[in-house]
Amino acid sequence: MSPKPLLGFGFYLLITVLLLTSPGIRADVVQLKPDHPERYIVVKGDTLWDISTRFLKSPWHWPQIWKINQEIKNPHLIYPGDVVVLRWVDGKPVLSVERKDTGLPSLPEPAPAPVVERRIDDRTVKLSPQAYSAPLESAIPTIPPNAIVPFLTKPLAVEENVLIQAGYITTGLDDRIALGDSSQFYARGLKGDGTEYYQIFRPGNPIRHPDTGELLAYEALYLGDAKLLEPGDPSKLVVTSVKQEIIPTDRLLVAPKKASLPYYYPHPPKSRVEGRVVSALNSVAEIGPKTVIGISLGKRDGIDEGVVLRVMRHVGSHRDPVTRDYYKLPDEESALILVFRTYEKISYALVMTATRPVNLLDAVITP
């Protein structure tokens, strides 16, 4: 993976946290945990969500924390060995990062700092605030990468217009129907744009909105990968990997580039939203933490990657012991989720925390 520019020494992390001053303060005000540490050394395997949980009662309050300092929108600027320190500035708590190479807190300067010469390994190095490059793999991610990396480059859902426009397999060489690894085949409908690598998938069950019945997307069953051998109509391709048996009419999508490690900026949606849990991808019995779920909200609803939402468990109704009438019980919060992949009408999210199992058709709302 090619290095990406990161921010300079003076701008790694500044977090200003508002404390509760009375029981009636708004629920969306960021709160420190009573048992928060004063210092925390970042270790390999940490995530920013985990670190935030050590200091804050609600990690999803990050937007209110980060918008105070726009320089920290990229959350992957913390590395193993960094020390997260809680200090008080003008009566307000501030979290800053100390680095081993400077030993000083990474607080923003009111003006550009002067160039400083320092001896390192018998070399004189000039240090000043500037952009520099470093491998992103060494930075800690926002959420556990292994939980979502398998779902970043494979089609999870296929929108109806994508199905219509996708190329499709017609036949294998020598009229072979079932295709396996290294099988060559013909396809039609591929765009002549020089694309070399494709993913093979099969449309699955339709995903509909549970309240309106609107078709949101089709499940995408990933079957394998293919490489273009000869363009044209028909085009000639070869299967390079197989997950399931491939047959004529299976569809071809352009293979995306290799996914980067997931770094997200957690934030609420721009407006109030309400949707439903419509699918669970890596759960058999119960939907709990680190489970990937599909929700009936997408780009058209203002959902983008990094959005944090609450899942509300539908409790149902209860019979009043006095009146003997049934009345509706309010929904109860069961989990927090973070969206990592979006489509027009549907999105996929990772369950970050859960106080009780999440169920299909549970409500998903603005936190």
Per-residue pLDDT of 218-274, as tens digits, reads: 998 999 999 999 999 999 999 999 988 999 999 999 988 766 666 787 888 989 999
Which one, of 292, 297, 305, 363, lies nearest residue 339 by Cα?
A: 305
Assess if residue 164 is contained within a domain. Answer: yes
Assess if residue 137 is contained within a domain. Answer: no
Assess if residue 115 is contained within a domain. Answer: no
How far apart CA 207 and CA 348 sit, in angstroms, is 13
How far apart CA 156 and CA 204 sit, in angstroms, is 10
Q: Which two tokens stand for residue 358?
A: 């999440």
Among candidate residues 223, 254, 285, the one where a domain is terminated: 254
Contact 222, 124 (CB under 8 A): no
Count CB-CB contacts under 10 A for residue 320.
10
pLDDT of residue 76: 45
Classify 146 as helix, strand or coil. helix
Q: What residues make up the domain containing 196?
A: 157-254
All residues at 6 or more sequence positions from 223 whose CB lies less than 8 Å from its CB, including other chains: 200, 201, 202, 242, 243, 244, 245, 246, 250
Assess if residue 247 is contained within a domain. Answer: yes
pLDDT at 64 over 60: no
Mean pLDDT over all residues of the chain? 76
All residues at 6 or more sequence positions from 165 whose CB lies less than 8 Å from its CB, including other chains: 189
pLDDT at 300 over 70: yes
Q: Out of 20-34, 134-148, 182-196, which region has the weakest mean confidence (pLDDT)?
A: 20-34
Shared domain for 241 and 293, answered yes or no, is no
Instruction: State the total domains in the chain.
Output: 3
Under the banding of pLDDT at 50, 70 and 90, the label for residue 133 is very low
Q: What is the pLDDT of residues 91-110, one digit of tens each?
A: 666 777 776 654 434 434 33
Assess if residue 149 is contained within a domain. Answer: no
Assess if residue 119 is contained within a domain. Answer: no
Assess if residue 176 is contained within a domain. Answer: yes
Assess if residue 74 is contained within a domain. Answer: yes
Bridge partners of 310, per DSSP, are 336, 365
Shared domain for 49 and 99, answered yes or no, is yes
Classify 327 as helix, strand or coil. strand
Which one, of 62, 80, 16, lies nearest residue 306 by Cα?
A: 62
Which one, of 218, 213, 222, lies nearest residue 158 by Cα?
A: 218
Among candidate residues 77, 93, 109, the one where a domain is terminated: 109
Full-model pTM: 0.71
pLDDT of residue 261: 62
Q: What is the pLDDT of residues 311-366, one digit of tens each?
A: 998 777 888 899 999 988 888 889 999 999 999 999 999 999 898 889 889 999 99
Q: Which two tokens stand for residue 105?
A: 């807190």
